[in-house]
């Protein structure tokens, strides 16, 4: 580990402790949650979904387009109103709209969106973009040494600090979004299609970066993706969704070797046929 990375780790304050003292309490848990389309209460976007994510666990979430992956991420982030069920963070029920509870929650769980560039104000400097979350959470500001060490950790040159966010490439914007999340030191990172829109070379670099950061920061990961190869590399557990339901939740190796649900079989067959995507991370 480089000197700047050691400095970064040494300067961080401890994470907030969990309200629950139970050792097996999930970091983040959905308990039989359902939600409906805003203008159509007959259409369920999520249908009695349950999902538990434990400390340090890396979980891949996949399914056909429209299966409910992004809606589930929104629900887990307390951004999606529920018609049934509840979201718990370390045993504590989180409700949308509670500013105090959500401020605590955001320190436990951070999010890297699919369109990273769209989540960053293009007129702000990268330095301002990185510092904003700590300010919003009422945390002490990061020092210049903290920011420099963080940039080193996500493999961005320090000169980008004074650049406008709108000048970043897609890969750079993705790294800035990851760095912004890491600055909070969360227990869990939710990532929505982190390799989407990246060319194969940039994709492979991004996966290697995520793999290293998850280990160094001792964070859990929930990654929603159509990229089965990426899930194979990063995740030890795979969850498949279809029509707003979880239809399969198994160890990744078992899911790949012998998918049980028809949708899972279709996804694995399609991934095996995608030679460009799967060449580095075979399913067999």
Per-residue model confidence as pLDDT tens digits over 150-206? 899 888 999 999 999 888 888 888 889 998 888 888 999 999 998 887 888 888 888
Give me the residues of the chain with pLDDT under 70, please: 1-23, 96-101, 274-284
Residue 46 CA to chain centroid, in angstroms?
A: 19
Burial class for 8, CB neighbours closer than 10 Å (0-12, 13-18, 19+): buried
Confidence (pLDDT) at 105: 85
Q: How far apart are CA 50 and CA 34, in angstroms?
A: 10
Confidence (pLDDT) at 8: 33
| Residue 263 phi, psi (nearest 5) | -65, -40
Confidence (pLDDT) at 100: 66
Q: How far apart are CA 273 and CA 169, in angstroms?
A: 30
Q: Domains (ranges, CATH) in the chain?
A: 3-12+25-274 (3.40.50.300)
Confidence (pLDDT) at 278: 47
Name residue 110's beta-bridge partners: 189
Confidence (pLDDT) at 97: 64
| pTM summary value | 0.83
């Amino acid at each position: 580990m480089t000197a700047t990375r050691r400095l970064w780790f040494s300067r961080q304050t401890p994470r907030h402790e969990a309200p629950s003292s139970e050792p097996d309490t999930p970091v983040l848990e959905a308990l039989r949650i359902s939600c409906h389309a805003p203008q159509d209460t007959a259409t369920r976007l999520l249908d009695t979904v349950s999902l538990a994510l434990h400390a340090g666990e890396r979980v891949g979430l996949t399914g056909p387009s429209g299966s409910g992956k992004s809606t589930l991420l929104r629900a887990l982030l307390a951004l999606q109103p529920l018609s049934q069920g509840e979201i718990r963070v370390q045993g504590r029920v989180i409700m949308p709209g509670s500013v105090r509870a959500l401020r605590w929650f955001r320190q436990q769980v951070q999010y890297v969106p699919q369109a990273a560039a769209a989540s960053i104000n293009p007129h702000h400097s990268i330095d301002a973009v990185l510092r904003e979350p700590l300010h919003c959470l009422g945390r002490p500001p990061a020092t210049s040494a903290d920011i420099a060490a963080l940039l080193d950790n996500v493999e961005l040159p320090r000169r980008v600090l004074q650049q406008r966010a709108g000048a970043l490439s897609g890969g750079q914007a993705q790294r800035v979004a990851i760095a912004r999340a890491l600055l909070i030191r969360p227990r869990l990172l939710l990532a929505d299609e982190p390799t989407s829109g990246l060319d194969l070379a940039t994709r492979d670099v991004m996966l290697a970066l995520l793999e290293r950061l998850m280990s160094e920061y001792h964070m859990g990961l929930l990654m929603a993706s159509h990229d089965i190869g990426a899930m194979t590399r990063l995740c030890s557990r795979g969850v498949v969704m279809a029509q707003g339901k979880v239809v399969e939740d198994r160890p990744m190796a078992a899911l790949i070797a012998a998918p049980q649900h028809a949708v899972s079989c279709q996804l694995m067959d399609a991934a095996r046929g995608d030679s460009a995507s799967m060449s580095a991370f075979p399913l067999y």
